[in-house]
């Protein structure tokens, strides 16, 4: 019979326990220590910038309304997904998403690359009542947001906090947060008016404007639509 080399060890309870502990400790250190010396685990991507003041407000409204309960913002690296939505989501694209909105439910389609897919006026109609665009849609209408004035009283504070957390906003962007948001809102309102929407003054300063600014930003930091169009791909739709 072969000599059972482990027998003498197993027979000595205390020694065995100490040796087991040592083994686990060394194994644990080998796993735990190296990450402390990593500079980062996410590859930075050129062109990925923090949200503008207005987009940030739009994002907060998106969270307030629970849009992320029906819409994911993460394209997985599968052909069926990349054919439908565009290039799969890279970690570096989400560094300014705090909290991230990857989501795990897709009652509606993924929205991570919906920016630029439709004109602003499409979203205006769709948010007023999705059934005006897609008769069978089960998305709720958000017409009330067109009457809710956009609250910019905390915008500066929000940029300040994100700056403290490492988002690279400069001093001017923080100080002018509310004005910048109003200026971008004017541009969204102008594009809606150009498309024939007769906006009232209240509508031009409503929450919907910020929501549209946010939605139109999604997935546009990497210029994939141009690349897809250049390659003759049908990704842009
Ligand atoms: C009950 C689930 C549900 C909720 C909540 C919801 N949606 Fe949707 N959404 C859908 C469905 C289903 C569709 C597809 C049909 C359609 O276009 O209306 C859709 C479509 C969309 C589209 C068009 C996507 C595309 O590529 O064609 C956008 C943009 C959108 N939703 C934004 C939002 C925003 C912003 C909110 C929150 C204010 C929201 N949705 C809340 C279910 C939902």
Residue with the two structure tokens 């600014």:
213
pLDDT digits (tens, 9 = 90+) for 116-151: 999 999 999 999 999 999 999 999 999 999 999 999
Mutation test of ligand 1: which of 81, 103, 106, 108 has the most ligand atoms closer than 8 Å to its C-beta?
108
pLDDT higher than threshold 50 for residue 208: yes
**Rounded average pLDDT over 69-98:** 95
| Dist CA 57 CA 51 (whole Å) | 9
Distance 107 CA to ligand 1 centre (A): 8
Q: How confident is the model at residue 2 (pLDDT cuts 50, 70, 90)?
A: low
Mutation test of ligand 1: which of 59, 65, 70 has the most ligand atoms closer than 8 Å to its C-beta?
70
Task: Output b/e per residue, 144-175; b: 16+ Cβ within 10 A.
Answer: ebbeeebebeebbebbeebbeeebebeeebbe
Distance 159 CA to ligand 1 centre (A): 27
Mean pLDDT for all residues in the chain: 93
| Dist CA 130 CA 133 (whole Å) | 6
Q: What is the pLDDT of residue 1?
A: 57
Q: Give the residue among 98, 211, 197 at the shortest CA–CA distance from 150.
A: 211
pLDDT digits (tens, 9 = 90+) for 149-176: 999 999 999 999 999 999 999 999 999 9
């Amino acid at each position: 019979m072969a000599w059972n080399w482990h027998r003498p060890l197993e027979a000595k309870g205390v020694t065995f326990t100490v040796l087991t502990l040592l083994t686990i400790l060394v194994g644990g250190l080998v796993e735990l220590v190296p990450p402390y010396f990593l500079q980062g685990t996410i590859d930075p991507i050129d062109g990925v910038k923090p949200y503008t003041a207005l987009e940030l407000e739009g994002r907060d409204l998106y969270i307030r309304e629970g849009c992320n309960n029906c819409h994911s913002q993460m394209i997985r690296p599968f052909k069926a997904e990349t054919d439908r939505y565009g290039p799969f989501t890279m970690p570096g694209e989400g560094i300014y998403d705090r909290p991230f909105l990857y989501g795990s439910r897709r009652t509606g389609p993924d929205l991570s690359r919906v920016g630029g897919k439709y004109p602003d006026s499409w979203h205006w109609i769709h948010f007023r009542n999705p059934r005006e665009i897609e008769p069978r849609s089960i998305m709720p209408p958000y017409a009330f947001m067109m009457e809710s004035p956009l609250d910019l009283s905390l915008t500066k504070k929000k940029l300040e906090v994100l700056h403290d957390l490492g988002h690279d906003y400069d001093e001017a962007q923080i100080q002018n947060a509310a004005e910048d948001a109003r200026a971008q809102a004017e541009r969204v309102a102008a594009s809606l008016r150009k498309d024939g929407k007769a906006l009232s003054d209240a509508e031009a300063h409503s929450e919907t404007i910020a929501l549209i600014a946010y939605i139109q930003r999604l997935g546009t930091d990497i210029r994939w639509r141009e690349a897809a169009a250049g390659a003759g791909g049908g990704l842009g739709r």
